[in-house]
């Protein structure tokens, strides 16, 4: 996750949003006459270390600005709580828990408790493919990847013995949650939390509910490709169009499919998101908990379901499964569909994924 937002950065974000709003208004007024909703869009660059985009049709700029600010502020709160790299004054976040591993329980916001409980549920459901206690291994890969990206000529892979030693400190049962005292304690002093496979989608889902409760009944929220469609387009029963990125940039169309979705989430995990190159081979950031190395079965996996948190979890979990295992797993979950891009470039679909494809 990214570093804290300064006052100056916040002003830059507000200015960026204002510029985009003005541009959207100019485009939307090309057919002035009968009053109709206008498309507005705001983009922020300072949350969850990725780009956040909000799109909606409203009757005036002020209405959209109010919704966009609420969504931004709410996402910022989740960003700070789930940050594993930075401290924030007056906040005990996931970094605080990691810093106190093996030392003392940390009193935390209920939103951290809820996230970790949700993560534990999916650890069981995915037979360990999603493990937020896998931070010791992921941190090693993160550090090697960062150094490799900064100095490609000196890029190298983590030694297996280092990864295996770290994997001894990934027991999710040692993440001790006490709901009565609202505390979290890592019983192993060498373990750490990493919620990269779940946090963005989970936060997007929670914020979409907050926004809907405050009148944002039609819109799109996208955080680094975790897309949540709220209601239908213009509240008119029209589907929102969401693209699935081509995992081979520069080869063919930038989007493999355009999906029609209403009140649903679309999340993709792929090899193109964060990677570095060693001896001519790319190594991405999705680490298989069994091999301790990047999963090598697919180029991308996309999920469609209603809940963005679940979609985020499934996209990573299925990426770490074989096609046969992943297909059976998805087919066992009601109202969840998946789309695989194999290393060969071939496509595979779950039984009803094609129902969403516009083109």
Residue-wise pLDDT for 111-122, tens only, equals 999 999 999 999
CB 179 within 8 A of CB 111: no
Residues 246 and 354 in one domain: yes
pTM attached to this predicted model = 0.87
Same domain, 243 and 166: no
**Which of 145, 167, 186 finishes a domain?**
186
In DSSP terms, 259 is beta-bridged to 242, 357
Characterize 172-196 residue by residue with b for buried, 16 or more Cβ atoms within 10 angstroms of its Cβ, and e for exposed: bebbebeeeebbbbbebeebbbbbb
- Average pLDDT, integer, range 235-263: 87
Residue for token pair 């996996």: 301
Q: For residue 164, what pLDDT is reported?
A: 98
161 and 243 assigned to the same domain? no
What's the pLDDT at 34? Answer: 55
The tally of domains found in the chain comes to 2
Q: What is the CATH number of the domain that holds 312?
A: 3.10.520.10
139 found inside a domain: yes
> Does any domain span residue 133?
yes
| Within a domain: 45 | no
Residue 123 lies in a domain: yes
For every residue of 221-283, DSSP letters joined together read EEETTEEEEESSBTTTTBPEEEEEE-SSTTSS-SEEEEEEESS-EEEEEETTSSEEEETTEEE
| Beta carbons within 8 Å of 277's beta carbon, 6+ residues apart | 148, 152, 155, 283
Residues 328 and 265 reside in one and the same domain: yes
**311 and 245 assigned to the same domain:** yes
What pLDDT, in 10s, does the model give residues 153-209?
999 999 999 999 999 999 999 999 999 999 999 999 999 999 999 999 999 999 999
Do residue 181 and residue 256 come from a single domain? no
The CATH number of residue 104's host domain is: 1.10.3980.10
Q: Mean pLDDT, to the nearest integer, of 284-293?
A: 94
Instruction: Name the domain boundary from 186, 202, 222.
Output: 186
Query: Last residue of a domain, which of 125, 160, 186?
Result: 186
- Residue 17 maps to a domain: no
Q: Is residue 152 part of a domain?
A: yes
Residue 134 located in a structural domain: yes
Range of the domain at 256: 239-359
252 and 352 part of one domain? yes
Residue 113 domain-assigned (yes or no)? yes
Q: Is the pLDDT of residue 28 over 60?
A: no
Smallest CA-to-CA distance from 208 within 358, 318, 52, 104 is with 52
> Mean pLDDT across the stretch 41-55?
89
Q: What is the chain's mean pLDDT, rounded?
A: 89
């Amino acid at each position: 996750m990214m570093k804290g937002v300064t006052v100056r950065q916040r002003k830059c974000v507000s200015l960026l949003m204002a510029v985009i709003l003005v541009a959207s208004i100019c485009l939307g007024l090309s057919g002035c006459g009968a009053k109709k909703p206008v498309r507005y869009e705001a983009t922020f660059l300072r949350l969850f270390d990725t780009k956040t985009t909000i799109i909606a049709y409203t009757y005036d700029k002020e209405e959209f600005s109010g919704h966009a600010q609420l969504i931004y502020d709410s996402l910022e709160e989740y960003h700070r709580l789930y940050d594993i790299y930075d401290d924030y004054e007056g906040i005990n976040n996931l970094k605080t828990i990691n810093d106190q591993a093996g030392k003392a329980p940390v009193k935390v916001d209920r939103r951290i408790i809820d996230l970790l409980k949700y993560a534990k549920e999916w650890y069981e459901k995915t037979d360990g493919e999603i493990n937020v206690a896998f931070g010791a291994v992921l941190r090693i890969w993160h550090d090697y990847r960062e150094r490799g990206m900064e100095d490609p000529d000196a890029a190298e892979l983590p030694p297996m013995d280092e990864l295996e030693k770290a994997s001894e400190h990934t027991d999710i049962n040692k993440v001790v949650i006490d709901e009565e005292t609202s505390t979290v304690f890592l019983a192993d002093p060498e373990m750490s939390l990493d919620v990269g496979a779940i946090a963005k989608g989970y936060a997007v889902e929670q914020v979409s509910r907050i926004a809907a409760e405050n009148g944002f009944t039609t819109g799109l929220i996208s955080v680094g490709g975790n897309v949540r469609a709220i209601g239908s387009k213009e509240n008119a029963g029209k589907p929102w169009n969401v693209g699935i990125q081509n995992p081979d940039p520069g080869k063919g169309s930038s989007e493999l499919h355009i999906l029609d979705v209403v009140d649903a989430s679309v999340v993709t995990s792929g090899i193109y998101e964060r990677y570095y190159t060693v001896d001519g081979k790319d190594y991405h950031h999705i680490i298989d908990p069994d091999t301790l190395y990047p999963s090598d079965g697919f180029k991308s996996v996309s999920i469609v379901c209603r809940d963005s948190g679940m979609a985020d979890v499934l996209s990573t979990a299925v990426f770490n499964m074989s096609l046969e295992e992943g297909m059976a797993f998805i087919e066992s979950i009601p109202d969840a569909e998946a789309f695989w891009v194999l290393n060969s470039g071939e496509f595979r679909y779950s039984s009803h994924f094609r129902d969403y494809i516009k083109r």
